[in-house]
């Protein structure tokens, strides 16, 4: 028997089995077959659709264009999504593909930096080399700035003096402009902008920080943040400190009162005056030292001595000069002596130096607190002297911190406008009602569908039971008719022992079938299966 005949026999058996089925079973088998076919088709469609994996992300248009061109040369399908993301089918090894693209030099930033200086061209002039160096320096700075947190991309434009190897060009000063493209939702701080300015000015010879301009992709001049003078910065710091203190006292008082009157029923308005005075007093005091007890600064001593002698000598003329010479002896008559000592002593003065600094910067000079409480609060019905209680609580709670400052507290009980809150609550109730309605509708629909399925199955089962009962009644009637006919024939003719034995066997089989019809059906199936 060949395959075609087997298929024909199988088809005939399937057709016979289908014809032997009841209508309900045909619907059930047909629905299962259709569902199976639809599932297979959907699975085949989903399996045939290629799945893509991320190859690279966050590229600009230039970098993405180079990679796409290389993928087309390699005959690799791809998908591009907004934001510079490139996807390839899951059948490709993305790690191996990234390595190949990196070896080709197309993966990564298109900025070459100082590597372009290796591309020397024959006959390049000094100006060409200067321009190439400027481009390389710009790209290196762009790479460095892009590593800063919050910066997605950067462009640097340098204006450098023109010079040759022999004569430097005449230009006032080099300048630089930096454009930063920020990440979505990111903002650069003052320190980050200062870092960019210092980075660029330090990398370019002769570039001063004040000649560097930084602009973001929203056309805002970020370098203006660095040009504020010290006074403006100090004023900003003072205002920030004042706001922080007011916020602190507001949260402290409001949190305590809301625990009594309920959330949203208390408003606190603090106003703080801060003392920024700083007084420095210097004083020098000189006192005369005690005589002969002070510290000697300098001392000068003058000593004068003189002595007058009587005149000596011989007689006038030449006779006294002719040897032998004779001189008269000296005598003490007519001799006088003078001696004088003068001492000047300078003493150090007693100097007393005092420097008194009274620094009250940051101290609170006055604090005013206005407390507004919702008059519709149910807590206010319990007591009538809430104003005094609140004043006392605020003064003791805040006055311990600001003991040296003047404190004033004002309390008011006013009805709050709850119209917006009520409208919001109504809107929330409507949304909740709609959500519940949708949930109830879906639940009722599912319950109705399940009830319909259950009723259908029950009806089908009842029909099967009825059909089975009718078949059994018909079979019993037929059996009774056959028995009557057989008995009549047996009465007319004598029954041989073989026929009587056959009749007894038939009766026994009928009894077995009436007790357990499933066993008889299984035996019949085995007979049909053995006979082919």
3-state secondary structure 308-349: ECCCCCCCCCCHHHCCCCCCCCCCCCCCEEEEEEEEEEEECC
The mean predicted confidence, pLDDT, of the chain is 77
Question: Average pLDDT of 520-528?
Answer: 66
User: How do the residues of the chain divide into helix, strand and coil, expressed in percent and rounded to 5?
Assistant: 50, 20, 25
Neighbouring residues of 207: CB distance < 8 A, sequence distance ≥ 6 = 173, 174, 175, 176, 200, 201
**pTM, rounded to two decimals:** 0.37
Residue 160 pLDDT exceeds 80: yes
| Pair 261, 378: CB distance under 8 Å | no
Please list, residue by residue across 190-200, b when 16 or more beta carbons sit within 10 angstroms of its beta carbon and e when fewer do. eebbbebbebb
Neighbouring residues of 81: CB distance < 8 A, sequence distance ≥ 6 = 87
Give the SS3 label for residue 385: coil
Please give the Cα distance from 169 to 187 (Å, whole number): 39
From residue 433, give the alpha-carbon distance in Å to each of 59, 376, 421, 443, 445: 47, 28, 18, 15, 18
| Pair 341, 300: CB distance under 8 Å | no
Q: What are the phi and psi torsion angles at 123 (to 5°)?
A: 85, 15
Question: Average pLDDT of 290-316?
Answer: 68
Neighbouring residues of 176: CB distance < 8 A, sequence distance ≥ 6 = 156, 157, 158, 159, 200, 201, 204, 207, 211, 212, 213
382: which 2 tokens? 């319990």
Higher pLDDT, 514 or 43: 43
The predicted pLDDT at position 131 comes to: 80
Residue 168 pLDDT exceeds 60: no
| Pair 416, 374: CB distance under 8 Å | yes
196: which 2 tokens? 């960019």
pLDDT digits (tens, 9 = 90+) for 446-480: 888 888 888 888 888 888 788 878 877 777 777 77
Give the SS3 label for residue 182: strand
pLDDT digits (tens, 9 = 90+) for 12-35: 877 777 777 777 777 777 778 888
The predicted pLDDT at position 423 comes to: 84
pLDDT digits (tens, 9 = 90+) for 323-336: 655 555 555 555 67
Neighbouring residues of 153: CB distance < 8 A, sequence distance ≥ 6 = 60, 146, 180, 181
pLDDT digits (tens, 9 = 90+) for 488-502: 766 655 556 666 676
Higher pLDDT, 154 or 26: 154
The predicted pLDDT at position 213 comes to: 92
**Portion of the chain with pLDDT greater than 90, in percent:** 4
Higher pLDDT, 172 or 63: 63
Please report which confidence band the pLDDT of residue 126 belongs to, taking 50, 70 and 90 as the band edges.
confident
Higher pLDDT, 439 or 310: 439
3-state secondary structure 47-98: HHCCCEEEEECCCCHHHHHHHHHHHHHCCCCCEEECCCEEEEECCCCHHHHH
Residue 261 pLDDT exceeds 80: yes
Please give the Cα distance from 397 to 386 (Å, whole number): 16
- Identify which of 177-191, 274-288, 397-411 has the greatest average pLDDT: 177-191
Question: Average pLDDT of 284-312?
Answer: 69
Question: 324 preceded by cis ω (within 30°)?
Answer: yes
The predicted pLDDT at position 528 comes to: 63
Pairing of strands 212-216, 175-182: parallel
Q: Which residues does residue 89 pair with via DSSP β-bridges, in sequence order?
A: 52
Please report which confidence band the pLDDT of residue 196 belongs to, taking 50, 70 and 90 as the band edges.
very high
| Pair 146, 58: CB distance under 8 Å | no
Neighbouring residues of 525: CB distance < 8 A, sequence distance ≥ 6 = none
The predicted pLDDT at position 283 comes to: 78
- The size of the chain, in residues, is 532
Residue 439 pLDDT exceeds 80: yes
- Identify which of 292-301, 414-423, 519-528 has the greatest average pLDDT: 414-423
Kindly tell me the sign of the dihedral angle through the C-alpha atoms of 413, 417, 421, 427.
Answer: positive
The predicted pLDDT at position 197 comes to: 92
The predicted pLDDT at position 309 comes to: 63
Q: Single out the residue of 60, 297, 28, 280 nearest to residue 155, CA to CA.
A: 60
Residue 214 pLDDT exceeds 90: yes
- In a 10 Å sphere around its CB, with 0-12 CB exposed, 13-18 middle and 19+ buried, how is residue 369 labelled? buried
């Amino acid at each position: 028997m060949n395959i075609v005949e087997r298929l024909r026999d199988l088809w005939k058996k399937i057709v016979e089995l289908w014809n032997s089925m009841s209508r309900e079973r045909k619907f059930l088998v047909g629905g299962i077959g259709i569902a199976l076919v639809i599932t297979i088709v959907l699975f085949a469609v989903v399996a045939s659709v290629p799945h893509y994996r991320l190859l690279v992300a966050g590229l600009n248009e230039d970098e993405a264009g180079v990679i796409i061109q290389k993928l087309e040369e390699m005959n690799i399908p791809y998908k591009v999504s907004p934001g510079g993301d490139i996807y390839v089918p899951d059948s490709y090894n993305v790690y191996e593909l990234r390595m190949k693209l990196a070896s080709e030099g197309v993966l990564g930033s298109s900025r070459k930096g100082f590597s372009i200086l290796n591309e020397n061209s024959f006959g390049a002039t000094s100006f060409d080399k200067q321009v190439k160096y400027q481009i390389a320096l710009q790209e290196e700075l762009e790479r460095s700035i892009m590593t800063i947190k919050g910066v997605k991309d950067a462009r640097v434009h340098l204006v450098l003096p023109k010079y040759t190897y022999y004569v430097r060009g005449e230009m006032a000063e080099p300048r630089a402009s930096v454009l930063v493209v920020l990440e979505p939702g990111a903002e650069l701080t003052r320190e980050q902008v200062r870092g960019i300015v210092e980075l660029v000015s330090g990398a370019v010879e002769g570039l001063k920080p004040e000649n560097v301009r930084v602009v973001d992709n929203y056309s805002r001049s970020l370098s203006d943040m660095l040009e504020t003078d010290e006074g403006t910065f100090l004023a900003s710091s003072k205002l920030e400190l004042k706001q922080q203190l007011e916020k602190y006292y507001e949260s402290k008082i409001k949190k305590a009162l809301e625990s009594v009157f309920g959330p949203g029923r208390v408003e606190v308005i603090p106003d703080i005056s801060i003392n920024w005075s700083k007084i420095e007093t210097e004083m020098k005091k000189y006192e005369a030292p005690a005589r002969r007890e002070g510290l000697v600064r300098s001392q000068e001593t003058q000593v004068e001595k003189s002595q007058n002698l009587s005149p000596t000598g011989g007689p006038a003329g030449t006779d006294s000069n002719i040897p032998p010479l004779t001189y008269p002896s000296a005598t003490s008559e007519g001799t006088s002596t003078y001696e004088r000592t003068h001492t000047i002593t300078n003493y150090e003065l007693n100097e007393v130096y005092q420097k008194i600094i009274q620094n009250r910067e940051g101290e609170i000079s006055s604090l005013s607190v206005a407390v507004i409480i919702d008059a519709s609060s149910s807590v206010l019905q319990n007591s009538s002297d809430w104003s005094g209680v609140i004043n006392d609580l605020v003064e003791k709670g805040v006055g311990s911190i600001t003991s040296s400052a003047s404190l004033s507290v004002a309390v008011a009980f006013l009805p709050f406008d709850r119209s917006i809150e009520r409208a919001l609550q109504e809107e929330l109730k409507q949304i909740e009602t709609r959500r519940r309605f949708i949930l109830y509708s879906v639940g009722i629909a599912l319950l109705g569908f399940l009830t319909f399925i259950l009723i259908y199955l029950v009806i089908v089962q009842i029909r099967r039971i009825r059909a089975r009962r009718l078949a059994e009644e018909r079979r019993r009637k037929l059996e009774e008719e056959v028995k009557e006919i057989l008995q009549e024939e047996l009465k007319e003719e004598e029954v041989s022992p073989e026929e009587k034995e056959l009749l007894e066997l038939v009766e026994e089989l009928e009894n077995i079938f009436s007790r357990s019809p499933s066993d008889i059906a299984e035996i019949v199936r085995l007979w049909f299966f053995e006979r082919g």
